[in-house]
Amino acid sequence: MAEQQGRNTGQQDIPDMKIPDPVEFSKTMANIAEKSQKLVADFMERQHMQAPDANYDPFNISQAFMEMTSRMMADPAKLMQAQMNLWQDYMRLWQSTASRMMGAGQDGSGPVATPERGDRRFKDSAWEDNQVFDFIKQSYLLTARWMNSTVNEVEGLDEKTAKKLDFYTRQFTDAMAPSNFVMTNPEVLRATVESRGENLLNGLQNLLDDMEKGKISQTDASAFEVGENLAVTPGKVVYQNDLMQLIQYEPTTEQVYKTPLLIIPPWINKFYILDLRQKNSFVKWAVDQGFTVFVTSWVNPDTELAQKSFEDYMVEGPLAALDAIKEATGEEQANVIGYCLGGTLLSCTLSYLAQKGQADRVKAATFFTTMVDFSEAGELEVFIDEEQIAALENKMKSKGYLEGKSMATTFNMLRSNDLIWSFVVNNYLLGKEPFPFDLLYWNSDSTRMPAAMHSFYLRKMYQENKLIEPGGVELKGVPIDLGKIEQPAFVLATKEDHIAPWKSGYALTRATNGPVKFVLAASGHIAGVVNPPVANKYNYWLNSDYPKDPEKWLENATPQPGSWWLEWNKWIEEKTGKDMVDARKPGGGKLKPIEDAPGSYVKMKAQD
């Protein structure tokens, strides 16, 4: 009877939770509070922390929200209707919850609000099985949905302001999720009771450690070491300059394609995303297919390289690499892959070479998740306006570069639930150590950006979108015109890319003047690219017609099973021919090895 009464009043225990002795538990919590105060005091003493400027608005958000508020107030009827809709949803939720608490079960209409597919914040069974936590969950989802939709429906805002409001409203609603707080997360409450609060003490120590490092720990960094269990494909550094080391990899086949392959990764991150482990290394796989593979490993720039420009990255990157490859192999031509920003640089380089009468130095070009048209730059657009760029430039003046952690934070915000709040719960509330994960180790191995290059890139590409305009960007006195590119191009975009939206990548089908093969892969900016055939994961889409509208292309595209790597291999063989030569050893040509791969540049840490 007592058990039934507990159910009827909603006073359920969280499943599998043992209720502790209240006196003993209060003593434990008091002890934790005392230890917590000491930990915080020690941290504050070490840091000599100062209060931030209350008027500091680094993302220029306040003006956007003030404009939104004024427009909302101009249409009170619409605002009132939105509030009425929210109230009606709450009434349905209260009725459903009350019915369930009285033992009548669901009213037959199902939950009022449900998490989106793939939302792991509410994976614990108590979020559904326990009436109280089910109510908390649905109440939050209703409110978050209401806030986001209300902001999105404000009329009269320019597109950039609307995108900024939408982004930061979602940042706020994500931060306010009940899963992020001790008293409203059943998993955390259960762990607190079972460990007598030890999880919270451990979590506080983790928090203070991370505050000292200036970033959230996403993985167990001690489990990985570049050159030991990451980036271990055998090879040699055969050339280097101020900005990059050129790695040539050891062949694994007796014969190799005559035309060597150069890979230009982005310098926003480190190159070994393409050489994480043997099982998912694109570098290793390409070597095994019979390619002589070279990779540019970019330096982690410091104050001395502050004035290195985008032009310098072209000269000391792909142009220098092509010269070095000619010395190493004797070949006049190479096939070149550019990934993300490396692909943007490749497009500039191809146009430059064409106008210098040297187009034949590159036989075929491949672009991974590359933007050349920044008119649809996705959610990164919210960080690009005059106020924010000026503030960033001012910040870079003191050191001559953008700190690696600043760039990392920006990208983490694009997937805040996965890359921020999940670790807040795991590390700080549950008091657990992060799980060893190679991809997240790479993600946290941040790199700096030279001030001159980064300012040029943000202004000319993102803010002004000059690259897509013929002559809009000039490098080494040459006006860059993508229409001058005539090499065959393989263009890969990924359907769920938050960094380089696939429609922006599709612009390459019309920007160049050579034959193009466009492939759309499933998943996102990283997982969609690093998708080895042995994993048998995801799929991709093909369509040989390229209408102006990318949505029309997708409507008529045919899904293909498995990895796009095999599609690329077939394409590159068709474009470059099957001519083979004896396998080339690093150091076998005119360039002698400097050091073993992965080299020293990639091991430089951004200790900001």
Contact partners, residue 48, CB within 8 Å, separation at least 6: none
Question: Tokens 């700190």 map to which residue?
Answer: 403
DSSP element (H, E) containing 245: strand 244-249
SS3 for 459?
helix
Confirm if 291 and 242 have CB atoms less than 8 A apart: no
Contact partners, residue 1, CB within 8 Å, separation at least 6: none
Say how far apart CA 468 and CA 508 lie, in whole Å: 9
516-521 and 539-542 beta bridge pairing:
antiparallel
Phi, psi of 217 (to 5 degrees): -75, 120
Q: DSSP string of 478-529?
A: EEE-GGG--S-EEEEEETT-SSS-HHHHHTHHHHSSS-EEEEEESS-TTTTT
- Active site includes 348? no
Tally of CB atoms within 10 A around 394: 9
Say which amino acid occupies 112: V
261-264 and 293-298 beta bridge pairing:
parallel
- 108 burial level (CB within 10 Å; 0-12, 13-18, 19+): exposed
Helix orientation angle between 62-73 and 159-175, rounded to the nearest 10 degrees: 100
Q: Active site residue: 340, 440, 451, 526, which one? A: 340
CA gyration radius, the chain: 27
Contact partners, residue 395, CB within 8 Å, separation at least 6: 402, 406
Distance of CA 367 to the CA centre of its chain: 18
Closest residue by Cα to residue 179 from 140, 136, 121: 121
Q: Annotated catalytic sites, by residue?
A: 340
